[in-house]
Structure 1
Amino acid sequence: MPLLSWLADNADERPDAIRVDDRAVSWVELRRLAAAVADELRGVDRVAVEATSTLETVVGVVGALTAGAAVVPVPPDAGPMERDHVLRDSGATALLVPAGAAGTAEGAGRAVVPVDLARRSDTVHPEPDPARTALILYTSGTTGAPKGAVISRRAVAACLDGLADAWAWTPDDLLVHGLPLFHVHGLVLGVLGPLRLGSRLHHVGRPRPQRYAAAAGSMYFGVPTVWSRIAADPDAARALRPARLLVSGSAALPAAVFADLAALTGHRVVERYGMTETLITVSARADGPRRPGTVGLPLPGVRTRLVDEHGATLPADGAAMGELQVAGPTLFDGYLDRPDADAASRTPDGWFRTGDVATIDPDGWHRIVGRATTDLIKSGGYRIGAGEVEDALLAHPAVREAAVVGVPHPDLGQQVTAYVVGDGVEGPELVDFVARHLSAHKRPREVRLVDALPRNALGKVQKNRLLAE
């Protein structure tokens, strides 16, 4: 079956199948626009795409996939050094840009190919082998330049089919989101999902609460920052009541936001878990319970396990915290030209080391504690999950945002330290508040009040920046 099977076979000419901001195209029109791009990319193995939140990006990505090329999304906010690294490291020989920008685009020795929405083609391109690379997505670790994660067409298809099963995702759905189009969440799930599974798509541009409210979708995707802003706008939140499913990902959804959305929208949000290297591997289901702070069950074909620091398997008892390891059909093929990184990311028996700490309940439900490097705090002989302390802080009515890290300490090993954005509250009050809600050893030893937390494009708090300070 073709990767974008719904788009490949559809004869529907209704004009609103795919809408990005205020421009829309039908399935047939999108296929013809993409075929025109594919005609220009014959023989190209890897193509970079200026991944703005525009219809041109959708057409360019679909055109490149139609041609059998590997797509290398370039974040629009990438600085000169990052942009140059992605273009050079990926080996992309062409760069897709909107037609109006083609005259000024810098291809750094690559062919600059305009995505012209006035050009259409009826060429039928053969479906590439499922083992071919679909995407090379650059992901940053704690050190060094970003690495290119090589993701096959087969892995993308397995991920989307698994989500169709978990979320009852069908052609009857209208998916609404405003996520960036250079990450797994916005691009793979948010664009390729509809083109494989048949739902219409409305990308609202900037993900403002009023735009989500006005879109009248059946499924909504958002990151916790988006959902927090919607929960703070009761009228916008109530407008989502007719929807079928609200989905949150890319970071942990605070329990307070989960509860506020449930009260305002009538929906308990579906949370799911994945990484660039694994795509989505674990999710709550549309036909099952949703538990705040948990990310559900493995998708079809996916296996998970917990191990301790010595590699020994830990029990799924809901208490044991260990590194989550994953195996299954959604995994990437490896890091581009980085055999050292590949070897470090895999166990001898073939499992991927996520670097995330989790617990697994006896019934298989997963709870992500956080990154092993920043979210598992070893203090005074105790293992403390930063997320649990953050949830306790966020339960205080004066706290708007919270991030907890382990700061080196000569006696404790690590000291539980909280960075808090709040209104009219002092550190000692918050320390006492947490101590009343959790075990005393989990309370922050220090609370630092800040104006804002550093976040990336998907709203994830950048804890390494907090630790660097």
Structure 2
Amino acid sequence: MFSLFPALVGGSVADRSALRFGDRSLTYAELAASAQALAARLDGAGRVAVWATPALETAVGVVAALLAGVPAVPLNPKSGETELGHILGDSAPTLVLAAPGDVLPAPLGALERVDVVVDAEATANRAEAGSGAGGPGGAETVGAGTVTDPAAPALIVYTSGTTGPPKGAVIPRRAIAATLDALADAWQWTGDDVLVHGLPLFHVHGLIIGVLGPLRRGGSVRHLGRFSVEGVARELGAGATMLFGVPTMYHRLAEALGEDPGLAKALGGARLLVSGSAALPLHDHERIGAATGRGVVERYGMTETLMNTSVRADGEVRPGTVGVPLPGVGLRLVEEDGTAIAWYEADGTPAGAYDGESVGEIQVRGPNLFTEYLNRPDATAAAYTADGWFRTGDMAVLDPDGSVRIVGRKATDLIKSGGHKIGAGEIENALLEHPGVREAAVAGEPDADLGERVAAWIVPLDPQAPPSADELADHVARRLAPHKRPRTVRFVEELPRNDMGKILKRELPRD
């Protein structure tokens, strides 16, 4: 039988901690009983919305929906009413799962509400009384056989909506299993690992990788509720083995290292530090590595594909690269005319122009991909090539060792200047190597002579004495090439970012 959570079936880890949020926790026995009880109420419910606060109830609600074979729609609690109304109208859930006491916004008022009640003592009693079907050691089946179908929809996760209203990516059960098993291979991830993170639970990184990942392995999750340097140090110092975060979090950790020797010891004791959702700046890599002796592993994924590549746990950590394709994932770089310029052979060997210079769009295929955009057959068709590859919209090069190095988004980060194709990401990395630069963003702007010119937005390390525009341009020219130097430099107090720390380039101030 196809099972997303073998540990909830076999009962061999019944007494092991499965989930901990703050001072509230559930063992596998308690989680199984609690989720099964809720799943019984969801059987046949159609789609269900989940008010995805960073709380124990969100994790239990999603697991219950998956056990019932009911697609779950995680909702960002920070969504405005217009966006929330669009998602609800598009996904048409029959009810909403929320923690008791959560105050839900007006657009959710028309839905039946089901409170996710988590009581460790009560669920433990149910587990002891119901050790047959439906309890730990019983079958992972509440809904009518949906768990036997790997193609059945598991989650509908909405995209960020940067180019229009958010689209609902339908994630099948096979994609979750394939990605988590491939990451287990790449990261040597086992049930003995204890993961700590403070990511939101309405997207792929925080929910699928950060919560469902440990549960699939039979391991443990310690969620901070809200990220803090102190929380990371405490949990890693108390036996956690892995940390997931985004660059903003690692930047804060790097900033705190000089003032907290205990933090360096805690980070150095972790088995694996993983960063994703955006590139981790070089100077943060260097500061963390120097203080802890531990490199930060980067990976690459997106809502529609879950995870595509990663630096392996037993591989070399090289800042600026996101590793190699995960097992089962096909990857190629393609020119605008559809010509593949670099790719991976079936045995995982890079081929074509893996020279660190030839830029192409990343296209992928494999069992990790979404099924469709809900109610958008036009968008689904446009997302795939005629031969079945998904167009990610991300531009990259393959380095000589085969590592994937992302240089930006096709829509916003591919700059065509004076006949050259330039990736904004490599210029940002070069700027971040300058000792006077704290943060940097690069984009193209119209230019009568060049077609587009390279423009940079800089948050200086010292606002009272920023480096000059000429100094930064020369710095880039020396490290990369003269045609890649910024022609326009603007100094700003901060860069606009979303909840995951990604820079919102369409919101950068322009003259």
Q: Please tell me the TM-score bracket, short chain as reference.
A: over 0.9
The structural deviation recorded for 1:99 is 1.6
| Structure 2: distance between partners of 1:302 and 1:437 | 33
Which letter maps to 1:151? I
Q: Is there any run of 5+ residues in structure 2 with no aligned partner, and where?
A: 135-140, 342-351
Tell whether the 8 Å contact from 1:102 to 1:114 is kept in structure 2 after alignment: no
1:456 aligns with 2:498: yes
The structural deviation recorded for 1:451 is 0.9
* Selected match of 1:431 from 459, 463, 473: 473
* Selected match of 1:447 from 478, 486, 489: 489
Structure 1 pair 103–407 and aligned structure 2 pair: CA distance change class (3 A): closer
| Structure 1: distance between partners of 2:382 and 2:494 | 34
| Structure 2: distance between partners of 1:467 and 1:360 | 32
1:263 aligns with 2:280: no
- 1:61-460 map, 5 Å: 61-101=62-102, 107-118=108-119, 120=123, 122=130, 124=134, 125-126=141-142, 128=147, 129-216=149-236, 217-234=240-257, 235=260, 236-314=263-341, 315-318=352-355, 319-422=357-460, 423=462, 424-425=465-466, 426-460=468-502
| Structure 1: distance between partners of 2:154 and 2:192 | 26
Tell whether the 8 Å contact from 2:85 to 2:107 is kept in structure 1 after alignment: no
Look up the SS of the partner of 2:264 in the other structure. helix
- Cα deviation, 1:319-376, whole Å, max 9, x if unaligned, reads 2100010011100001001011011100011000000001123543211111011111
1:59 aligns with 2:91: no
| Structure 2: distance between partners of 1:110 and 1:25 | 28
The structural deviation recorded for 1:17 is 2.8
Tell whether the 8 Å contact from 1:247 to 1:270 is kept in structure 2 after alignment: yes
- Cα deviation, 1:130-187, whole Å, max 9, x if unaligned, reads 2111110000344220000001001100000000000000011111111110110000
| Structure 2: distance between partners of 1:332 and 1:186 | 17
1:31 aligns with 2:32: yes
- Cα deviation, 1:45-64, whole Å, max 9, x if unaligned, reads 21100011000111111111
Look up the SS of the partner of 1:8 in the other structure. helix
How many percent identity over aligned positions? Answer: 55
Tell whether the 8 Å contact from 1:45 to 1:69 is kept in structure 2 after alignment: yes
TM-score (norm 2): 0.88
| Count of matched residue positions in the alignment of Structure 1 and Structure 2 | 469
| Structure 1: distance between partners of 2:104 and 2:322 | 46
Which letter maps to 2:20? R
Tell me which moved more, 257-266 or 51-60: 257-266
| Structure 2: distance between partners of 1:17 and 1:313 | 44
Look up the SS of the partner of 1:457 in the other structure. coil
Look up the SS of the partner of 1:337 in the other structure. coil
Structure 1 residue aligned with 2:349: none
Structure 1 pair 296–9 and aligned structure 2 pair: CA distance change class (3 A): same
Tell whether the 8 Å contact from 1:40 to 1:113 is kept in structure 2 after alignment: no
The structural deviation recorded for 1:238 is 3.5
The structural deviation recorded for 1:391 is 1.2
Which letter maps to 1:444? P
| Structure 1: distance between partners of 2:104 and 2:449 | 61
Tell whether the 8 Å contact from 2:454 to 2:487 is kept in structure 1 after alignment: yes
- Cα deviation, 1:16-44, whole Å, max 9, x if unaligned, reads 33111221111110111111211221211
Structure 1 pair 103–378 and aligned structure 2 pair: CA distance change class (3 A): closer
| Structure 1: distance between partners of 2:55 and 2:197 | 13
Look up the SS of the partner of 1:325 in the other structure. strand
The structural deviation recorded for 1:429 is 3.0
TM-score (norm 1): 0.96
Structure 1 pair 142–53 and aligned structure 2 pair: CA distance change class (3 A): closer
Which letter maps to 2:22? D
| Structure 2: distance between partners of 1:291 and 1:30 | 39
- Computed over aligned residues only, the root mean square deviation of the Cα atoms, in angstroms, reads 1.8
- Cα deviation, 1:399-451, whole Å, max 9, x if unaligned, reads 11100000111211111111111112143332233233331111111111111
- Cα deviation, 1:229-252, whole Å, max 9, x if unaligned, reads 101111223421111111111111
Structure 1 pair 316–199 and aligned structure 2 pair: CA distance change class (3 A): farther
| Structure 1: distance between partners of 2:49 and 2:95 | 6
Tell whether the 8 Å contact from 1:102 to 1:113 is kept in structure 2 after alignment: no
The structural deviation recorded for 1:105 is 7.3
The structural deviation recorded for 1:104 is 8.1
Which letter maps to 1:90? S
Tell whether the 8 Å contact from 2:18 to 2:218 is kept in structure 1 after alignment: no
